[in-house]
A and B are shown apart, each in its own frame.
Chain A
Amino acid sequence: MKVFSKIYLVLIFLLLYAPILVLIVFSFNEKGSFAAYTGVSLKWYRELFRDSTALDSLRNSLVLAVSSAAVATGIGTFAALGLDRMRLRWLKNSISAVTNIPMMNPDIVTGVSMMLLFVAVGGILQTDLTGFFSMLIAHITFSLPYVILSILPRFKQFDRSLREAAMDLGCTPAQSFFKIEFPHILPGIVTGFIMAFTLSLDDFVISHFVSSPDFVTLPLYIYNQTAHKVKYSMYALCTLIILAILVLLLLVNFVSGIGARGKRKKEIA
């Protein structure tokens, strides 16, 4: 059983990684073909960096991800506060249900529905509404449920008697909120921001429907480039993205590992 489970794990992970590894290995192949590996070269990387649209799309992606995550985190934090304090059960439940629609729906339906909104309203106003702002609105909208989901439980876990104690000891309600309750929910806000940021960076389907050709993000750029024939500079781009993600994942794991160890040390002390 032990041996079988090891073989199974190795086999499935090998299959999962084979296409990605092939991509990485052949991104360094001088000759743009699978027929022969003519030598290691950075030719395709040079070609990639000569392509200014690739770098523009990366910048666009980052700008969009930071701004949409910031707005979504702002709205979402207040929404979580409001939902936590809300006493009308039916209102609370219906707000949550509507908020979660983009999470339940297939991305294509969310994308199409937003596109129809922008097209119809744009038709009434006689302008083209698609572009940076339509994408910003769309990205904020699909990030909101994830932001609220990571903040709301923090509010729920918070022991309200702590705030009352702070006020008994002379804090104003605002002080007690910012000194006692806010630090408790802060990790949820940070998680929410990171989630919104990564969701925005990764999104292709919804962006595909609400974008216009003058604001292209990285996934849209990859889509356009892979639409026709095989381009080896795309292998290089994909390799760079995969490596960036790997480094980030290892870093997060490393930092959280140190954090966990630090905590354990503190507990022992």
Chain B
Amino acid sequence: MKKKLSLLERMAAVPHIVWIALFIVGPMLFVLYFAFTDKNNQFSFSNIGQLGNYSHIFLLSVLFALIATAVCLLIGYPLAYFMARSKPSTQRILMILLMLPMWVSLLIRTYSLLVLLDNGGLINSLLKAMGRKEPLKIIGTGFAVVLGMIYDFLPYMVLPIYTSISKLDNRYLEAAADLGCTPVGTIFRVVLPLTVPGILSGVTMVFVPSISTFYISQKLGGGKMELIGDTIERQFKQATANAYHVGAALSLVMMILILISTLIMNKISDGDEGGVLV
């Protein structure tokens, strides 16, 4: 039986629809507009044509983000697994320990890493005290930038994986053991396939901020590592208004890249759920 809705119920979403039309769809249209016009507001493909100049920056960003994501997964999966397998009381404490860095601003976490690794930082001061003349150059290398990404985003990988491992029905593991699976075999043949959705959401949560970061590369790259986020940031915050058009084109490409990878991810995780049902 369908009930008649009151006027309020029918109209309740209207303010929200107006809001998202103005402030989500509107800005997207402006990105499109700026990406396809030149500084005289004439329609042109010149911004898109210039994107070729940035291909090496794009490649470097993708490479760094991929390495950071892979390392986070390699470190984070065992961490999540061991967390989920520890005593409930320990789990509560570990959860707080994991959440705390997530709540602390990214700026502070990155800055604290800079404090540690800088030329006048703690590590180099210790090395100097131990008799090393030249400071060890860490800041300004690709290593420092990738390390920053791993350090900043590791908790985002651990949390969804931890959630999906804790939800796992213990009877699956017992069944696997009863049927002769070794403990290691159980992890690879039972736990890992069943937690793919958690892995995928962790991968997204690390990859997206890694590929779009500009603060990490600014701080830890020492101005020598330019990633796509830095390029976009510079076009909008430091250059003149004319640079907005190229910046918009770069943002558009980034948005499409992320959209495609999200769609692929969704496809994989959907396919997997189907597989489990069979």
Q: Which residues of A contact B (CB under 8 A)?
A: 1, 5-6, 8-9, 12-13, 16-20, 22-23, 26, 33-35, 75-76, 78-79, 81-83, 85-86, 95, 98-99, 101-102, 104-110, 112-117, 119-120, 137-138, 140-141, 144, 148, 173, 198, 202, 204-205, 208-209, 219, 222-223, 226, 230, 234-235, 238, 241-242, 245-246, 248-250, 253
Contact = CB atoms under 8 A, between A and B. Distances in A.
Contacts of A208: 233, 237
A82 B85 CA distance: 42
A241 B262 contact: no
B130 interface: no
Given A26-B115, A82-B16, A114-B23, A108 B212 contact: yes
Contacts, number: 222
A9 B212 contact: no
> Of B26, B99, B251, B259, which is in contact with the most chain A CB atoms at under 10 Å from its CB?
B251
A245 B31 contact: no
Contacts of B107: 204, 219, 222-223, 226
B244 A116 contact: yes
A207 to B, nearest CB: 11
Nearest to A36: B125
Contacts of A173: 6
Contacts of A204: 105-107, 215
B105 A19 contact: no
A144 B19 contact: yes
A226 B15 CA distance: 40
Given A18-B116, A144-B19, A230-B120, A86 B13 contact: yes
A95 B16 contact: yes
Contacts of A75: 15-16, 19
Interface string B157-178: 0000000000000000000000
Contacts of A144: 16, 19-20
Interface residues of B, number: 84
Contacts of B25: 98
Contacts of A222: 105, 107-108, 111
A8 B80 CA distance: 11
B111 A238 contact: yes
A238 B114 CA distance: 13
B278 interface: no
B268 interface: no
B20 A98 contact: yes
B106 A82 contact: no
A65 to B, nearest CB: 13
B211 A120 contact: no
Contact of A116 (B30, B118, B208): B30
A95 B122 contact: no
Nearest to B183: A1
Contact of B208 (A82, A83, A106, A202): A106
A253 B247 CA distance: 43
Given A107-B209, A238-B112, 18 more contacts: A5-B86, A19-B112, A20-B104, A23-B111, A75-B15, A95-B20, A106-B208, A106-B255, A109-B251, A109-B254, A117-B30, A119-B244, A205-B215, A230-B114, A230-B118, A230-B120, A242-B108, A253-B92
